[in-house]
Each structure stands twice: as C-alpha cells, then as structure tokens.
Amino acid sequence: MHPSIRHGLRLVPLALVLLGPPHAVSNAKAQLLSQFFAQSGASPAVLEYRRKLKEYQEARAAFDEEAGAYWSQISEKRKTRNAKRRAGQQVTLDDYVLTHPPLYNGPKRPVNPEPEEEPERPVRKPIPVVSDLLRAAQELYQFTPQRPSTEVEFKRAYARYALASGLTREQAVRVYSFETGGTGTFDVQAGIEHGGRRAISTAMGYNQLLTTNSVELLAEQGHEFIRALSEKVAKTSGPARQSLEHKLGVLKKMVAHAKSVPDTWSEHEKIGNTAQGWAMHAMVLDIDVGPMLQTHKLLTSVLFARAKGYTRPLSAAELEMMNLTGDGTGLDMVTMPQAMREQVPTSNFFQRGGYERNPVAIRHNTVAKLLAVTDERMDSNSSKAGAKELAGSF
C-alpha cells in the first residue's frame, strides 16, 4: 500500500470523530488517549510530571544564569574594594553592587509520581555537646573545667574581665541579648535553647563561640590568657592554688597545640573538628578561662577596627556585624557613612549560598536596615532576666 494511503487511513477515525455527535467525540477522544498512553508506556500523571519538570528546569536554568552573573559581579566588586583598601584608597558607592540579587520565583520542582531511587545522603558529622567536650578534656588533658556554682558568678567574672579589657557594658550586654535572646546561660549551645533539643552547631556561651573560635583565640590570644591566669595563681594559696596550677599547665599545653599549625581559620577549623579541638572548646565552660574567651571573641573585633584606623567606639550592633560576618567584612559595613548604608544592599557582604539561606538579610536588604533590625532585637531582648542580670554584674 502507498504510504500516503496508509497515512490517510490512519486519519479517517479522527475525521469521523470530529464530525460525529458530542458523546461519540468524547468516547473517541478517551479511547485515542488511552491508546496513546498505552503505546508510550506512561500514565497521564507521569506525562504531566515530565511537562512540569521541563518547565521547572528551563526556569531554573534561566534564573541560575542571571544569578550567576549577579554574584560574579558581587565577587569582583569585593576584590576591588579590598585592593583599594590595601592601597589606602577611598572606597566609594561605585565600589558596591547597588541592585538587589535576583530571587527565584518560578515553578517549584514537581514531585515524581513514580518511585525514585533515594540518593545516598552524606553522613552527618556529630555535633559535640557539653558532655563530649568534658570527656575530651578529661581524656586528652586530664582536666575538668571548673564550672561556676551559680550563673551570676560567671556573669560577674565576665563583667570584671570585659571591663578591664576595654569592652563597655552596653557592648557586652546587647551582644549577649542578641546572641542568646537575653536569657542564655554560660553553657548555652545553639539549638539547645528555648526548648530546642538538638544542637545545630558548636556555638556556645554568651557570645556563641564555635570550636574554631576557641582554637583561634587560644592560638592568637593565649599569651594573654596565660598571663592573666598566672597572676591569679600568684595571689592564691593552698589547695586552690594547686588546682589553678594544674589548670595553668593545661592551658599552656592547649595554647601550644593551637599554635602548632599555621594561623589560619581553615587550619584552626581542622583542629576544631577533632577531639583535641573539643577539649579546647571545653575551656568556654571554665570560670577563669571562659570569661576571657567570651571577652576576646568581641575584643578582637574592637582592636581590629582600631588598628584599621576606625577610632570611634563601635555600637553594639556594629560590633555584632563584625562578630557575625568576620572582622574584615563587618568593618566594611561599619566604616560606611549613613547615606551609603541606606543604599548598599546586604548582598555585597555575603556569598550566594549564605545569602539565599538568610531570610533576615533578604528581608532587611540594605546595611541600614540590617543594623536597624539588629538594634531592635537587642532592645527587645535587653529587658529579659538574663540580660538584666548581666547588666547588673558590671
């Protein structure tokens, strides 16, 4: 049979359907669809899924292309600012990206109606909690941190050391209020607070130090911790002195271990992810060393700003920006005049992944707005019991 005849015969049923009565048309369409699905081996739900998946993939690809260009521009502008600062040149508004990043608002990825093989999930690293830190300190250093008999005892020790070191009451109390919600204890850990049951990070204490923070502070400020503790030993006698001497010996070993690697965040992070880093982090709980660690977590930012020529006292919100984002990035925001703060998007200070996971930075999308909401949270939490108790300890 000639191909055109064969094709014509195939079209006859559809022509009859189109010319037939309504009920015949409906039945014929259903029959044709049934035959089509049977031939393709896919159900209507699967075909619809494939259609939606294609729409999603096309929309996502278009967004990723646009977003990739935006975040590349953010990176280039950051490099330019860093180079100008190194050269002692003035950073201007033109050195920032002044548009906000694109946010994906296309179709969501559809759910496959057919069973799919579950991808292997990476094994989640265990997050150490207080019991793990104490066990590591005992096993590696034969040491148990001396924990305070009451919460206010730790607050008073922190207040004394913070004031003597140059932090103000406002800075200490308001950062504490922001970091802990105004109710945190000396051993409060991120996730295990306000009814939470699972640690979400190693961030601990009034200023939420990570294990890496503890290692880095021991490496960089350990000489100061040793000096301060040595002075206390010299003023103590009897069994209490023996206990302090043992603590001093442990502190010296920890400082030596922390200094045994290059002074970089990545190297300190490697130690922080080991039992040795956990043992060092246990010092956050100690009534003598803990307040020093908490203080220097903030004081290093104050000194960094001062060393860069920023002599005006940092507000608590400005200090918190440096505490959260790192000294270099935080100072970039802090040194900005108010008129620029109101124009520069927060995206200039983030990596893409961090920004897209940060609803606060997205909602409060300029430097001025981010600092304002930080101040508002500090205002609110400063009236809570823990914050009032800390303020009264100064």
Q: What is the pLDDT of residues 329-363, one digit of tens each?
A: 899 999 999 999 999 999 999 999 889 888 999 99
Q: What per-residue confidence (pLDDT) applies to 8? A: 36
Assess whether pLDDT exceeds 70 at residue 33. no
Assess whether pLDDT exceeds 50 at residue 104. yes
Distance of CA 368 to the CA centre of its chain: 20
What is the identity of the amino acid at 118?
E
Asked if 341 and 371 touch (Cβ cutoff 8 Å), the reply is yes
* Dist. CA 274–CA 125, nearest whole Å: 11
Average pLDDT of every residue of the chain = 89
Asked if 285 and 246 touch (Cβ cutoff 8 Å), the reply is no
* Dist. CA 50–CA 281, nearest whole Å: 51
Q: Give the percent of the chain with pLDDT over 70.
A: 89
Assess whether pLDDT exceeds 70 at residue 381. yes
Mean pLDDT confidence for 31-51: 68
Say what the pTM is. Answer: 0.81
Assess whether pLDDT exceeds 50 at residue 9. no
pLDDT band at 40; cut points 50, 70, 90: low
**Cβ neighbour number for residue 391 with a 10 Å cutoff:** 18
Asked if 229 and 236 touch (Cβ cutoff 8 Å), the reply is no
**Cβ neighbour number for residue 386 with a 10 Å cutoff:** 22
At residue 41, φ and ψ (nearest 5 deg) are 75, 15
Assess whether pLDDT exceeds 70 at residue 389. yes
Helix (H, G, I), strand (E, B) or coil at 356: helix
Return the residue matching tokens 């040595």. 230
* Dist. CA 195–CA 179, nearest whole Å: 16
The 3-class SS string of 38-97 reads HHHCCCHHHHHHHHHHHHHHHHHHHHHHHHHHHHHHHHHHHHHHHHHHHCCCCCCHHHCC
Assess whether pLDDT exceeds 70 at residue 225. yes
Apex CA 25: angle with CA 24 and CA 29, to 5°? 115
Please give the sequence-ordered ranges of beta strands (E in DSSP) within the chain, or none if there are none: none
Return the residue matching tokens 């920890």. 254
Which of 271, 122, 143 shows the shortest CA–CA distance to 210? 271
